Amino acid sequence: MQLRNQVEWALHCSAVLAGVPPGRFLPARALAEFHGVPQAYLSKALQALARAGIVEGTLGPAGGYRLAKPPAAISFLDVVEAVEGRASTFACAEIRRNNPCASPAHPPTGPCAIARVMWEADEAWRARLAAVSLADLGATLAAELPAELRDGIAAWVADRT
Partner DNA sequence: ACAATTCGGATATTGAATATCCGCTATAGC
Partner DNA sequence: GCTATAGCGGATATTCAATATCCGAATTGT
Interacting residue ranges for its own copies, rule: CB under 8 A = 1-5, 7-9, 11-12, 15, 33-37, 76, 84, 87, 89-93, 95-96, 98-102, 106, 110, 113-114, 117-118, 120-122, 124-129, 132, 137, 140-141, 144, 146, 149, 152-153, 156
Stretch that binds DNA, among 16-24, 37-45, 68-76, 148-156 (CB under 7 A): 37-45
Q: Are 142 and 150 in contact (CB under 8 A)?
A: yes
Alpha carbons 17 and 25: distance in angstroms, whole number: 9
Residue 22 binds to DNA (criterion: CB under 7 A): no
Cα–Cα distance list, 51 to 45, 103, 105, 131, 133 (Å): 10, 45, 44, 22, 19
Residue 41 binding: pick among DNA, its own copies, none (C-beta 5-8 Å cut-off by kind):
DNA
* Comparison of 68 and 153: residue with beta carbon closer to its own copies: 153
Q: CB–CB of 85/46 below 8 Å?
A: no
- Report how far residue 111's alpha carbon sits from residue 125's, in angstroms, rounded to the nearest whole number: 20
The residue (of 60 and 98) whose beta carbon lies closer to its own copies is 98
Choose from its own copies, DNA, none: what does 135 bind? Cβ within 5-8 Å by kind: none
- Cα(42)–Cα(127) distance, rounded to whole angstroms? 27
Which residues, 6+ apart, have CB-to-CB distance to 111 below 8 Å?
92, 119
**Closer CB to its own copies, residue 61 or residue 144?**
144
43: partner contacted, choices its own copies, DNA, none (Cβ within 5-8 A by kind): DNA
Q: How many helices (H) and strands (E) does the chain have?
A: 7, 2
Residue selected from 63, 70, 111, 152 as contacting DNA according to rule CB under 7 A:
63
